[in-house]
């Protein structure tokens, strides 16, 4: 990269999640680029837009927009033209494609995807479920789960569960601890069970950091509270991972190696495994 500093303005009439995701994905392809994001969300009035335009003029840079109000779009375009800046309306190509397919125009409504509908309340319900069933809590409630994540301590079970909950998936997670019996509900699970694994070296580093945060007084896993050294011992961790892998293999639970995966990628793999589980179950009748 040339070392050029770029201001990139993201303007949305809703939460800005769409723009943030697109910008993050695009910026990741420009290694070393110095790009400063300026996020402007919930822009639904001329007064709010004028404050945004003042910010753009102070920190000049191209604009990505998901505004759907035609008047606000027009004013934004005029201001950017005056400043010699590019503006790109990210949803327009999708709108054009769908309009051609349906033969009908859109009815622009800011934040329309965030209505309090059944899908919204399903996500909230899933979030409450994850909180109640995190790290092996409320075992009897496993019968209500859409998926059960298992894995050794610090293998990304909790963050993956919360990400899935944001998709409306009730994800319970159960720690695999040598010497501790599994919940009987896992003998005949009512939903897919997926094992999450991580390689030994990064796992030890994560655990060491965790122990330092806790003051090394007690490990985060109950089984290691009496001996924090075993929690980060290379040989002990290797044996723990081997035991967990063999356990999942013996029960035919699919596994995901999370070592070099983001939470989003891990969740996507879990969703694919859930789909496969349901397809196989449907074929069996």
**Alpha helix (H) residue ranges in the chain:** 17-27, 46-58, 70-83, 92-102, 118-132, 157-165, 200-213, 228-232, 234-250, 263-284
**Residue 99 confidence (pLDDT):** 87
For the chain, give the percent of residues with pLDDT over 70.
Answer: 91
Provide the annotated binding site for ADP: 151-158
CA distance 136 to 150: 9
Provide the annotated binding site: 151-158
Q: Is 213 in the same domain as 262?
A: yes
The SS3 of residue 259 is coil
Q: In this structure, how many other beta carbons lie within 10 angstroms of the beta carbon of residue 223?
A: 16
Contacts of 263 (CB under 8 A, 6+ apart): 156, 159, 160, 163
20-58 per-position pLDDT tens digit: 999 999 999 998 889 999 999 999 999 999 999 999 999
Q: Is 159 in the same domain as 256?
A: yes
Q: How many structural domains does the chain have?
A: 2
Q: Is 254 in the same domain as 278?
A: yes
Q: Is 67 in the same domain as 127?
A: no
**Residue 249 confidence (pLDDT):** 97
Q: Is 100 in the same domain as 123?
A: no
CA distance 233 to 239: 10
216-229 per-position pLDDT tens digit: 444 444 444 445 67
Pair of tokens at residue 118: 């059944």
Question: Considering 85, 112, 139, which residue would you say is the last residue of a domain?
Answer: 112
CA distance 193 to 158: 15
Q: In this structure, how many other beta carbons lie within 10 angstroms of the beta carbon of residue 219?
A: 21
**Residue 175 confidence (pLDDT):** 95
Question: Considering 112, 133, 160, which residue would you say is the last residue of a domain?
Answer: 112
Q: In this structure, how many other beta carbons lie within 10 angstroms of the beta carbon of residue 201?
A: 12
Spatial CA neighbour of 186 closest among 139, 131, 151: 139
251-266 per-position pLDDT tens digit: 999 999 999 999 999 9
Question: Considering 61, 81, 112, which residue would you say is the last residue of a domain?
Answer: 112
Phi-psi region of 150 (alpha: psi -120 to 50; beta: other; left: phi over 0): beta
Q: Is 89 in the same domain as 184?
A: no
Q: Is 241 in the same domain as 205?
A: yes
Q: Is 82 in the same domain as 99?
A: yes
**Is pLDDT of 1 > 90?**
no
Pair of tokens at residue 132: 């109640």
The angle, 0 to 180 degrees and rounded to 10, between the axes of the packed helices 157-165 and 118-132 is 160
Q: Classify each residue of 92-112 as buried b or exposed e, where b means 16 or more C-beta atoms within 10 Å of its C-beta.
A: eeeeeeeeeeeeeeeeeebee
Q: Is 51 in the same domain as 28?
A: yes
CA distance 99 to 104: 5
157-183 per-position pLDDT tens digit: 999 999 999 999 999 999 999 999 999
pLDDT band at 113 (very low <50, low <70, confident <90, very high): low
**Residue 227 confidence (pLDDT):** 56
Q: Is 138 in the same domain as 279?
A: yes
Domain residues for 162? 118-284
Q: Is 46 in the same domain as 144?
A: no
Q: Nearest 5 degrees, angle CA 230-CA 232-CA 233?
A: 60
3-state secondary structure 12-81: CCCCCHHHHHHHHHHHCCCCCCEEEEEEECCCCCHHHHHHHHHHHHHCCCCEEECCCCHHHHHHHHHHHH
**Residue 104 confidence (pLDDT):** 77
pTM of the predicted model as reported, rounded to 2 decimal places? 0.71
Q: Is 86 in the same domain as 135?
A: no
Asked whether 64 and 8 are in contact (CB, 8 A), the reply is yes
Looking up residue 215, the CATH number of its domain turns out to be 3.40.50
């Amino acid at each position: 990269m040339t070392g050029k500093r770029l201001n990139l303005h993201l303007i949305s009439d809703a939460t800005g999640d769409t723009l943030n995701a697109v910008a993050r994905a695009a910026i990741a392809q420009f290694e070393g680029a110095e790009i400063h994001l300026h996020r402007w969300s919930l822009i639904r009035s001329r007064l709010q837009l004028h404050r945004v335009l003042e910010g753009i003029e102070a920190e000049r840079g191209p604009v990505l927009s998901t505004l759907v109000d035609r008047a606000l779009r027009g004013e934004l375009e005029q201001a950017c033209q005056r400043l010699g800046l590019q503006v790109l309306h990210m949803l327009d190509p999708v709108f054009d494609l769908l309009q051609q397919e349906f033969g009908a125009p859109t009815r622009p409504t800011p934040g329309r995807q965030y209505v309090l509908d059944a899908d919204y309340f399903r996500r909230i319900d899933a979030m409450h479920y994850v909180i109640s069933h995190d790290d092996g809590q409320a075992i009897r409630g496993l019968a209500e789960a859409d998926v059960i994540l298992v894995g050794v301590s610090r293998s990304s079970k909790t963050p993956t569960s919360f990400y899935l909950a944001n998709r409306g998936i009730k994800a319970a997670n159960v720690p695999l601890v040598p010497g501790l019996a599994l919940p009987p509900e896992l003998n005949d699970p009512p939903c897919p069970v997926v094992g999450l694994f991580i390689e030994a070296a990064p796992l030890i580093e994560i655990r060491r950091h965790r122990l330092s945060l806790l003051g090394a007084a007690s490990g985060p896993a109950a089984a290691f509270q009496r001996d924090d050294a075993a929690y980060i011992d290379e040989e002990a961790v290797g044996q723990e991972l081997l035991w967990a892998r063999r356990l999942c293999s013996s029960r035919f639970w699919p596994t995901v190696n999370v070592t070099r995966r983001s939470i989003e990628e891990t969740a996507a793999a879990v969703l694919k495994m859930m789909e496969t589980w349901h397809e196989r179950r449907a074929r069996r009748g």
